[in-house]
């Protein structure tokens, strides 16, 4: 029997195959089949039961009936047992997943029509579309790609800005420091070096600084540190500042946190950029900064984006009070590939020395940045050597 966007014969064949050969459960699970992919409610509950019994007991008809209790349907179970055994498990599993996705899209279309009928705002409708499309795309992928080692080409991680402040490409990194240390100056100079030396296109959202201040700083860096004409950077360095309303990419709800509709719009706007630098992280977070689950969900959003669209994303993050140690949940650090800490250079008495320079400390290095940085702790010139050249505060 076939129904719209479902094939019950396929569902029965898969379930029957598991009942008669429990080892087929491994291949079916590896193909990404889940209980939600089955159209018939009994089939969905039966798959859940078979999955549990495969791990904890034995797959036998009497045990299945006992485990399912009142939800067991004798007639539906007989239909499953009567199904022809299958040999092409992958073909059936792929069709099952395809039907499941079609039903998801149909449900999404109905939700969109309902929103239109209720005259809801366009932003919430677009958010629904993006969220469901992304969820469907994620669900259509294999859980992971298994290969033998001889199929893999050995390559080191790629880096940008290797000669001054290396960052791994197509990943998420974090730069942390206390207030007034010069984080924004550091990343602005790094961005300008990426443009000058590697011809990359950079977007920076310095959400705490006026655009005029960022322009002043960039001119100072170009003239007094990089000794490069400003027009080299003008077309490839794009900046947003404090005049732009801050966006929270996560939004707290009663149950959990959800991805804001603004995140998908943000991604679309930045398609043309190689490097994305966001300052500070916490201004764009929107959830509980001490909650590891929230922090990991936030960073994972950007990790998927970086990997899928080949973006190198760098967050500037506030340190704890009077410290360069990352503020908030430990998952902010755990979920990124590289962390730099920025600190004043001080003597034994705690007095600031070499006012134009800062210590750059490689606090986490999953991809091998130390090879290019030369050490886990280096000095970098952040400001012009003549302090009088700066007529405004650093931060």
Residue 389, pLDDT score: 44
pLDDT of residue 255: 64
pLDDT of residue 245: 84
Residues 6 or more apart from 117 whose CB is under 8 A from it? none
Strands 172-177, 338-343: pairing kind: parallel
Query: In this predicted structure, what is the pLDDT of residue 390?
Result: 45
Q: Domains along the chain?
A: 2-140 (1.10.860.10), 159-386 (3.40.50.300)
Listed in sequence order, the residues at least 6 apart from 107 whose beta carbon sits closer than 8 Å to its beta carbon are none
Q: What is the pTM of this model?
A: 0.68
Cα 354 to Cα 32, 181, 350, 359, 379: the distances in Å are 57, 13, 13, 10, 10
Model pLDDT, residue 265: 83
The strand pair at 257-259 and 338-343 is best described as: unpaired
Alpha-carbon distance of 239 to 241, in angstroms, equals 7
What is 291-326 written as a DSSP string? -HHHHHHHHHHHHHHHHHHT-EEEEEEEBSTTS-SB
Q: pLDDT in tens for each of the 395 residues of the chain?
A: 455 688 999 999 999 989 988 888 888 887 888 898 999 999 999 999 998 898 887 888 889 999 999 999 999 999 999 998 777 888 888 889 889 888 888 887 787 787 777 776 676 667 666 666 666 555 555 545 667 788 788 888 999 999 999 999 999 999 999 888 999 999 999 999 999 999 999 999 999 999 999 999 999 999 999 999 999 998 999 999 998 888 899 887 766 788 887 888 898 899 999 999 999 999 999 888 888 989 999 999 999 999 989 999 999 998 776 666 777 889 899 999 999 999 999 998 889 899 999 999 999 999 999 999 999 999 999 998 865 444 444 44
CA atoms of 218 and 236, how far apart (whole Å): 13
What pLDDT shows up at residue 286? 86
> Which residue do the tokens 């003239």 mark?
223
Query: What pLDDT sits at residue 268?
Result: 86
């Amino acid at each position: 029997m076939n129904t719209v966007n479902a094939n019950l014969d396929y569902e029965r064949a898969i379930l029957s195959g598991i009942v008669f050969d429990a080892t087929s459960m491994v291949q079916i699970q590896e193909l990404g089949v889940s209980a939600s992919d089955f159209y018939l409610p009994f089939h969905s509950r039966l798959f859940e039961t078979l999955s549990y019994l495969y791990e904890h007991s034995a797959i036998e008809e009497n045990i299945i009936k006992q485990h399912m209790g009142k939800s067991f349907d004798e007639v539906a179970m007989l239909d499953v047992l009567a199904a022809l055994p299958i040999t092409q498990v992958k073909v059936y599993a792929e069709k099952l997943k395809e039907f499941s996705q079609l039903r998801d899209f149909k449900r999404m279309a109905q939700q969109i029509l309902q929103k239109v009928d209720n005259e809801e705002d366009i932003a919430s409708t677009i958010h629904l579309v993006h969220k469901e499309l992304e969820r469907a795309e994620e669900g259509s992928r294999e859980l992971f790609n298994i290969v033998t080692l001889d199929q893999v080409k050995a390559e080191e991680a790629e880096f940008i800005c290797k000669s001054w402040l290396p960052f791994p490409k197509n990943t998420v990194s974090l730069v942390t420091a206390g207030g007034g240390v010069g984080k924004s100056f550091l990343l602005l100079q790094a961005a300008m070096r990426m443009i000058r030396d590697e011809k990359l296109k950079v977007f920076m959202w310095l959400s705490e600084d006026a655009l005029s201040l960022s322009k002043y700083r960039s001119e100072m860096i170009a003239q007094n540190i990089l000794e490069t004409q400003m027009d080299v950077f003008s077309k490839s360095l794009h900046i947003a500042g404090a005049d732009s309303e801050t966006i929270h990419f996560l939004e707290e709800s009663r149950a959990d946190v959800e991805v804001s509709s603004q995140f998908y719009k943000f991604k679309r706007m930045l398609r043309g950029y190689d490097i994305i630098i966001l300052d500070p992280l916490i201004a764009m977070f929107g959830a509980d900064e001490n909650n590891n689950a929230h922090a990991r969900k936030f960073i994972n959003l950007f990790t998927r984006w970086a990997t899928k669209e080949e973006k190198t994303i760098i967050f500037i993050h506030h340190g704890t009070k009077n410290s360069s140690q990352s503020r908030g949940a430990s998952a902010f650090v755990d979920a990124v590939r590289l962390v730099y800490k920025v600190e004043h250079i001080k003597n034994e008495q705690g007095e600031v020395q070499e006012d134009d320079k800062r210590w750059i400390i490689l606090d986490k290095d999953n991809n091998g940045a130390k090879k290019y940085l030369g050490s886990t702790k280096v000095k970098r010139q952040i400001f012009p050597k003549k302090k009088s050249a700066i007529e405004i505060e650093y931060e």
